[in-house]
Structure 1
Amino acid sequence: MSRIAIVGGGIMGLGIGWYLAREGADVTVFDRGRAGRAASWVAGGMLAPHAEAEPGEERLLPLLIEGHKQWPAFVEALEEAAGVSLDYRTDGTLVVALDADDARKFRFWYEYLRGMGQPVEWLSGYEVRKREPHLSREAVAAIWSGHDYHVDNRRVVEALKRVFVQAGGALREETPVREIVIEGGRVRGVRLDEGVFEAETVVLAAGAWSREIEGLPPDIRPPVRPVRGQVVILQMPPEAPLLHHVVWCMDAYLVPRSNGQLLIGATVEEMGFDATPTAGGVFHLLRGAWELLPAVYDLPLTEIAVGFRPTSRDDAPILGPTPVEGLVMATGHHRNGILLAPLTADVVSRFVLTGELDPLAQPFTLARFLSQPA
C-alpha cells in the first residue's frame, strides 16, 4: 500500500487524514506544533455562506454553499466516532446596523444577497431587539440569515485528532517538515530533522505556512500569505447568556458558545507572521462589541488569541493536483476554512484515492495561478 504524508495538522490536514484512514490508507499527519492549534483554533467557527457572500466572489459561492450542505452529515459522523458534542448550532445569524449609515450599506448588501438568491430577510430595529433583547437600543435594522450556522471549531479539531488516530492514522506533532522532497518530477517524501520520510503522495495542508516549506519549485509554490486575525474571548454566565445568535456589526462579530464563552473577532491585518496581540486590535474589537452589546463591559476577559488566515491571491482555496506527480494541495482557504473543511476532506481524499477531482473543485486548482507571476 502506498504511503501518504500530510503536511499540516489543522482542520484541513486532520479532516483529510481521517477520511483517508477510514478507507484503510497508510497516512501520517505532520504538524510543526500542536495539531489544530493554529488558525483552526482561533477561528470563529461560523458556517455562513449566505450572509457573508460578497460582490466579486460569485465564482466561489457554489463551493461555499456545497461546503455548508456537507456540515450536518460531517457533524453526525464525527460526533458518533469521537463520542463528543461539537456544539453545532443552527440558530442563524444577524448582521446589525447601529445607525442610518450602516443601514444604507447593509440594505445595499441585502439587495445584492437577494439578487443572488440567498435566503435572507430584512428586519426592523424592533424585530432585531425582539430576537436579541440585550442588543443596543441603537440597533436600527438587520439582515437575518436563518440558514447560517456555527460550530465550536476547537471541539472539532480535538475530535478530529482523536478519530484520525482511532481510524489508524499516525499523528506526529512538534515535527516540522523542513522540505518536500521531489525527484524526477514527482514527490519522494518529506524531509524531517531526522531524515526523509518516504511517501508516494504528499498533501500540502500547512495553511499560512504552505509557501514557506522548502523543496517546491518556484512556480509551484502556492501564492498563500498570512493575514493576521486577533480575537478576544469573554465569559458569559452559561445559564444566562447575553446572545443566542451569531451577531455581526460593522466593526466586529460576536459568537456565543454553549459553555458561555463569547468570541469577539476578528481583525484583518497584513503583518506577516507577527503573533503579538496589540492594544489597538483589542481596543477595536472591544469597542465594536460594546457598541453592539453594551453588557459586555462587565464580562471577564479570559483570552486574547492571534491566528493567521491562509489567504491566496484571489482569496479562494487551492485544491487538488499540481504539476508535480504525487503532490496535492489543500490550502489558501482564507476566512472560509472551517466552512469548507468537510468538503475539502471529501474532495482531496477522493482525489488521492481515485485520481479524480470533483468538478466543483476544478476551478480551484493551482493551475489558475501558473500563468501568472508569483
Structure 2
Amino acid sequence: MKEFTIVGGGIAGASIAYHLAKKGQHVTVYDRFDQGQATFASAGIICPWTSQRRNKKWYRLVQEGARYYPAFIKDLEQTTNQPTGYKQNGAICLFKDDRIQQLAYERISAKQEASPEMGSVTKMAKKDVKALHPYLTDYYPAVFVEGGGQIDGESLLTSLKKGVLAHGGNWLVEDVDPRECQGTVIYTAGAWAGEFHDQPTIRHQRAELLHFQLDEDADAMGTPVVMGLGPMYIVGTGAGNSFAIGTTHEKTEEFSVAPSAENKAYLHHEAERYFPDVNIDDHKVSVGLRPFTRDSLPFIGYNDDNIFVVNGLGSTGLTAGPVIGREVAAFLSGEETTLNLADYGYYE
C-alpha cells in the first residue's frame, strides 16, 4: 500500500482519490472548499464529439472520458447508493442555417467509427427540434447526437467523496501546504494553484451560469442538452421546469465570485432567444473559476518539486475528470494506462 495526499477536492482531485482508494491505496484529501470551485458552476455536458477543436491530445482525453462515463457512473452509484445526476438524453446542436447544419452533420458523423458510444447522428428539421424539446425555439435547424449527456457537478462530487470514504480514504475540509505533506503528493488546486507553484502556469476565467424557470409545465429532466449558437448551451437542472443557460467567459486575475448584473442580463436575453414563447423567471447565477493551462490542454505530470500536478481542465473538467482519475491512479500505482500521460506533462 502506498500513501497519497491529494490537495484540492474538485473533480480532478476527487476522482483521483476515488480511483486510488478503490485500489486499496492509503489516500487523504485536503479540500478547503473555496467558493468558485469550477465543478459547482458547470453545466456538466458530456458531448465532446461536437467540438471543433483540432488539438488531438485534448480530443483523445475527452473522447476517452465520454467513453468511460457510463461504466464509471454505474460503479460509483452502486458503491455509494447515491445519485449523481447523470443522464443521457442526447444533445441537440443548433446551427444558423441549413448549409452549416450539413457541414456539421458531416463533421460529427465522421467521428462515429472511432467513437461508437456517441450513438446515432441525425439531421433535424425545425419541426423535429420542437417535437423533442417543446419549449425550445424552432428557428434553427439542428443535429441530434444520441449519446450526448450531462452530469450534475455537485452531486458527482458528493458521491465521489462518499466513495472515497467507503473505500477507506480520508477527506479533510482544511488547508494544507502541499510541500509539507506525506507520501506522494497530488496537487489539484485548480485556479488557486499559483499560491504554491508557478509551473505549470495556471490562468483562470470567470464563468457565469444563469439558472431559471419557465412558466410552463416543462419536463427539464427529460429534455436533451442544447448546444446553442457559439458557446451558448442550455441544460435541464431538476424536475419540472428548471433550466440553466451559459456561459460567459471573462479572463481575470481576481477570485471574486460575485455575480455580474451585466452578465445576468446578457444570459437572460439569450434565454429569451432560445425560449421565445414562454416567460422566464430568473432564479440564481452560479459563478465558477475555470483553470486553464497552455493551449487549454490539461497538465498531468510532475513539477520541479516532484509533486504530481493535475490542472487546467477548463470547461471540460466534468468530461475529463473521471477518466483522468482512472488514468492517474493506474500510473501512480505502477499499472498500464490507456492514455499516454506523457502527452500532458509539458512545460512552457
| 1:360 Cα deviation from its structure 2 partner | 3.3
Of the three residues 318, 321, 344, the one matched with 1:338 is 318
Of the three residues 226, 244, 247, the one matched with 1:247 is 226
* Residues 324 and 296 (structure 1), Cα distance of their counterparts in 2 relative to 1, 3 Å cut: farther
Matching residue's letter, 2:124? L
- 1:330, 1:348 within 8 Å by CA — same for their partners in 2? no
Q: Which moved more, 1:108-117 or 1:147-156?
A: 108-117
Q: Following the alignment from structure 2 to structure 1, what is the Cα–Cα distance between the partners of residues 272 and 227?
A: 12
**Identity percentage of aligned residues:** 25
The 5 Å alignment of 1:360-371 reads 360-365=340-345, 368-369=346-347
* Residues 83 and 353 (structure 1), Cα distance of their counterparts in 2 relative to 1, 3 Å cut: same
TM-score normalised by L of structure 2: 0.88
| 1:236 Cα deviation from its structure 2 partner | 5.2
The 5 Å alignment of 1:130-209 reads 130-137=131-138, 139-173=139-173, 175-177=174-176, 179-181=177-179, 190=180, 198-209=181-192
* Residues 176 and 296 (structure 1), Cα distance of their counterparts in 2 relative to 1, 3 Å cut: farther
Q: Who is 1:266 aligned against?
A: 247
* Residues 89 and 308 (structure 1), Cα distance of their counterparts in 2 relative to 1, 3 Å cut: same
- 2:7, 2:178 within 8 Å by CA — same for their partners in 1? no
Matching residue's letter, 2:297? A
Q: Following the alignment from structure 2 to structure 1, what is the Cα–Cα distance between the partners of residues 325 and 216?
A: 33
| 1:343 Cα deviation from its structure 2 partner | 0.6
- 2:22, 2:167 within 8 Å by CA — same for their partners in 1? yes
| 1:303 Cα deviation from its structure 2 partner | 1.9
| 1:231 Cα deviation from its structure 2 partner | 0.7
- 2:87, 2:150 within 8 Å by CA — same for their partners in 1? yes
- Residue 289 (1) aligns with residue 271 (2): yes
- 1:63, 1:361 within 8 Å by CA — same for their partners in 2? no
Q: Following the alignment from structure 2 to structure 1, what is the Cα–Cα distance between the partners of residues 227 and 278?
A: 15
The 5 Å alignment of 1:1-374 reads 1-33=1-33, 38-51=37-50, 53-97=51-95, 99-100=96-97, 104-117=99-112, 120-137=121-138, 139-173=139-173, 175-177=174-176, 179-181=177-179, 190=180, 198-210=181-193, 212-214=194-196, 216=197, 218=198, 221-235=199-213, 240-241=218-219, 244-250=223-229, 252-260=232-240, 261-272=242-253, 273-295=255-277, 297-299=279-281, 301-325=282-306, 327-354=307-334, 358-365=338-345, 368-369=346-347, 372=348
Q: Following the alignment from structure 2 to structure 1, what is the Cα–Cα distance between the partners of residues 29 and 216?
A: 36
* Residues 72 and 168 (structure 1), Cα distance of their counterparts in 2 relative to 1, 3 Å cut: same
| 1:257 Cα deviation from its structure 2 partner | 3.1
Over residues 10-40 of structure 1, what are the superposed CA-to-partner deviations in whole Å (9 max), with x where a residue is unaligned? Answer: 1211111121122222211111226x97111
* Residues 238 and 316 (structure 1), Cα distance of their counterparts in 2 relative to 1, 3 Å cut: farther
Q: Following the alignment from structure 1 to structure 2, what is the Cα–Cα distance between the partners of residues 127 and 204?
A: 47
Q: Following the alignment from structure 1 to structure 2, what is the Cα–Cα distance between the partners of residues 271 and 322?
A: 24
Unaligned runs of 5+ in 1: 182-189, 191-197
Q: Following the alignment from structure 2 to structure 1, what is the Cα–Cα distance between the partners of residues 60 and 22?
A: 27
Q: Who is 1:195 aligned against?
A: none
Q: SS of the counterpart of 1:335?
A: helix
* Residues 308 and 142 (structure 1), Cα distance of their counterparts in 2 relative to 1, 3 Å cut: same
Q: SS of the counterpart of 1:285?
A: helix
| Aligned alpha-carbon RMSD (Å) | 2.5
Q: Following the alignment from structure 2 to structure 1, what is the Cα–Cα distance between the partners of residues 211 and 164?
A: 28
Q: Following the alignment from structure 1 to structure 2, what is the Cα–Cα distance between the partners of residues 236 and 255?
A: 13
| 1:158 Cα deviation from its structure 2 partner | 0.9
Over residues 302-354 of structure 1, what are the superposed CA-to-partner deviations in whole Å (9 max), with x where a residue is unaligned? Answer: 321100111111111111344544x2122111111101122111111112221
Q: SS of the counterpart of 2:284?
A: strand
Q: SS of the counterpart of 2:52?
A: coil
Q: SS of the counterpart of 1:305?
A: strand
Q: Which moved more, 1:55-64 or 1:155-164?
A: 55-64
Q: Following the alignment from structure 2 to structure 1, what is the Cα–Cα distance between the partners of residues 218 and 163?
A: 33
| 1:63 Cα deviation from its structure 2 partner | 1.7
* Residues 24 and 114 (structure 1), Cα distance of their counterparts in 2 relative to 1, 3 Å cut: closer
| 1:140 Cα deviation from its structure 2 partner | 2.8
Q: SS of the counterpart of 2:211?
A: strand
Over residues 247-299 of structure 1, what are the superposed CA-to-partner deviations in whole Å (9 max), with x where a residue is unaligned? Answer: 12126211113423312111111123232211221112111111111255343
Q: Following the alignment from structure 1 to structure 2, what is the Cα–Cα distance between the partners of residues 359 and 71?
A: 15
Matching residue's letter, 2:45? M
Matching residue's letter, 1:58? K
- 1:8, 1:207 within 8 Å by CA — same for their partners in 2? yes
TM-score normalised by L of structure 1: 0.82
| 1:164 Cα deviation from its structure 2 partner | 1.2
Q: Which of structures 1 and 2 has the larger relative contact order (alpha carbons within 8 angstroms, sep 6+)?
A: 2
| 1:66 Cα deviation from its structure 2 partner | 0.9
Q: SS of the counterpart of 1:351?
A: helix
- 2:245, 2:271 within 8 Å by CA — same for their partners in 1? yes
- 1:7, 1:206 within 8 Å by CA — same for their partners in 2? yes
